[in-house]
C-alpha cells in the first residue's frame, strides 16, 4: 500500500510494525465505533462527530435539512452521511496502513 504518512503522523494505535491479529482487532473496534475510511493516501478514518450533523450540513449547503432525507423512507441517504464524514467531521484519526487495509470500505 503506497501511503504518504510517516510513523510520527499516526495518531491512533500502534505504528507501522503492527501484527496482523492486532490490526484486525483495532480495525474491527474502529468500525464498531462508526469510523469510515476517508483517505487512502494518508490512512485517515473519521466518523460523525455531533448529533446535529444534518443541520450543520444543511447550513453549509444553504438548504433545509429535509433535503437530505430519502423520499421513500425516513432515513437519511448514505451519500450525505458519507459527505459529512469526509468533509466536515472533526473526529478524524490517522492509523497504520496495515490497520487501514483491514477496515471495510463503507
Specify whether 79 is located in the same domain as 64: yes
Specify whether 53 is located in the same domain as 79: yes
Residue 58, pLDDT above cutoff 60: yes
- % of the chain at pLDDT higher than 70: 92
Specify whether 11 is located in the same domain as 33: yes
What pLDDT score does 73 carry?
A: 66
**Domain with 13 in it:** 1-46+92-106
* 38 touches 32 (CB < 8 A): no
Phi and psi at residue 92, to the nearest 5°: -120, 145
Q: Report yes or no on whether pTM surpasses 0.75.
A: yes
What Cα–Cα distance (Å) separates residue 28 from each residue in 17, 66, 71, 85?
18, 33, 32, 18
Amino acid at each position: 500500500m503506497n501511503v504518504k504518512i510517516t510513523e510520527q503522523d499516526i495518531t491512533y494505535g500502534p505504528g507501522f510494525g503492527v501484527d496482523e491479529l492486532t490490526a484486525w482487532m483495532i480495525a474491527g473496534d474502529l468500525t464498531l465505533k462508526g469510523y469510515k475510511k476517508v483517505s487512502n493516501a494518508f490512512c485517515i478514518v473519521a466518523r460523525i462527530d455531533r448529533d446535529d450533523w444534518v443541520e450543520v450540513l444543511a447550513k453549509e449547503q444553504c438548504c433545509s435539512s429535509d433535503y437530505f432525507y430519502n423520499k421513500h423512507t425516513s432515513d437519511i441517504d448514505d451519500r450525505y452521511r458519507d459527505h459529512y464524514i469526509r468533509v466536515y467531521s472533526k473526529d478524524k484519526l490517522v492509523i497504520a496502513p496495515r490497520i487501514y487495509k483491514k477496515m471495510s470500505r463503507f
